[in-house]
Amino acid sequence: MQVPLLDLKSQYQSIKHDVMKITGEIFESQYFIMGPHVVQLEQEIAAYCGTKHAVGVSSGTDALLISLMAAQIGQGDIVITTPYTFFATVGSIVRVGARPAFVDIDPDTFNIDPQKLEKLFHDMDAETRTHVKGIIPVHLYGQCADMDPLTETAQKYDIVVIEDAAQAIGAEYKGNRAGSIGDLGCFSFFPSKNLGAFGDGGIVTTNSDHLHARLAILRSHGSKPKYYHKIIGGNFRLDALQAAIVSIKLKHLDAWTLARQENAARYNTLFQDAGLGEWVVLPAVTEDRHIYNQYVIRLKQKRDQLRQFLNEEGIGSEIYYPLPLHLQECFADLGYQQGDFPVAEQAALQTLALPVYPELTSDQQNYVVSKIKAFFQRGD
């Protein structure tokens, strides 16, 4: 049996008719940049996330970059984030000229640990503290970071909160949607995200009129009116084609999310029934709405051998992420070392994402869990 990590082809069949119709219309109009489809998607995403505004942009990475620019974070500033995330979170901080400061993660959720955040501030000298301008919590795998204590710390030190919600569209924290909790929320429409475009795309959410106005100007080279520039922006625009396709997919998102949640629950039951507790740690169960962009287990041993075995048996899996950001070669000049963030470092050695996409069948899930059981029972 083949079980890919993600199968977008079957999803495409369910929306193909609508996609062909709308893209045909856009081709006929030859109107590709911004326009009514982008405006419509912005209104729909703002409503979906419970924010006042949304600004469509060229990618999730650019959503982070333009958010930092909108918040006027740059040279000499410090931005706090997690070392256990996709590269773009940290890359965008460095690209605006700021310096990342890492805080280790919670071992159960893999999200930034609010107690260690408070400790970072506590241990920081007063001069350094004045340079801290923002924090980027990441809602990893589709589960929100613990935002209440984080927001409290951010308010205490008067810093901007930029949610990296690239993996978490529709996720909730105590009833509030990802992207509506901080000052800015960053989303990605990369095809493997729960709401993916047919190419690159992203969006930024905010409740602030001021930040919304800055985002809208920065997105088109900082120009307002056209060809007059008070600030320096870039080309961060979202294509009409991508916006129209994402709008179509948004109508299906809640059904797809429900299917992911059901798949996650089925894995939990299958793993418990298989009695694999000695080897496998299941994802932390939460009251909040988890959208399962990934279903990630922790292997207490032999993660890489298991992955190899699953690959041979036709089962796709992935390691998010194999090397924490503080140990990446390109950030060596930040001066971090092995051992600085032990929880993230251990996660990098133990996590494995299994297929959880909406169209996955229960037969495929039975097969995945039975193969994992077979691997550990053969015991070599």
CA-to-CA distance for 98 and 91, rounded, in angstroms?
A: 10
Question: CB of 88: closest distance to ligand PLP in angstroms?
Answer: 4
Give, in order, the Cα–Cα distances in Å from 213 to each of 192, 209, 239: 30, 6, 20
What is the three-class DSSP state of 182? coil
26 binds ligand PLP (CB under 6 A): no
88 binds ligand PLP (CB under 6 A): yes
Q: Which stretch binds ligand PLP (CB under 6 A): 21-29, 86-94, 216-224, 355-363?
A: 86-94
Angle at 116 (CA atoms; ends 84, 75), nearest 5 degrees: 65
Among 38, 53, 59, 70, binds ligand PLP (CB under 6 A): 59
CA-to-CA distance for 342 and 345, rounded, in angstroms?
A: 5
294 binds ligand PLP (CB under 6 A): no
Question: CB of 29: closest distance to ligand PLP in angstroms?
Answer: 26
Of residues 105 and 280, the one with the C-beta less far from ligand PLP: 105
Question: CB of 45: closest distance to ligand PLP in angstroms?
Answer: 14
Among 103, 154, 162, 166, binds ligand PLP (CB under 6 A): 166
Treating both helix axes as pointing N-terminal to C-terminal, what angle do 60-70 and 209-218 enclose, rounded to 10 degrees? 120
**DSSP codes of every residue in 315-367:** B--B-S-SS-GGG-GGGGGG---TTSSHHHHHHHHHEEEE---TT--HHHHHH
Q: Which stretch binds ligand PLP (CB under 6 A): 53-61, 116-124, 129-137, 297-305?
A: 53-61
Among 190, 236, 295, 331, binds ligand PLP (CB under 6 A): 190
296 binds ligand PLP (CB under 6 A): no
Q: Which stretch binds ligand PLP (CB under 6 A): 21-29, 85-93, 177-185, 245-253?
A: 85-93
350 binds ligand PLP (CB under 6 A): no
Tell me the CA end-to-end span of the chain in Å, nearest whole number: 24
Residue nearest to ligand PLP (CB): 60
Question: CB of 90: closest distance to ligand PLP in angstroms?
Answer: 9
Phi, psi values for residue 88, rounded to 5°: -60, -35
**Residue 255 CA neighbour count, 13 Å, CB half:** 7
CA-to-CA distance for 345 and 343, rounded, in angstroms?
A: 5
Contacts with ligand PLP, residue ranges (CB under 6 A):
59-61, 85-86, 88-89, 138, 164, 166-167, 188, 190, 200, 202
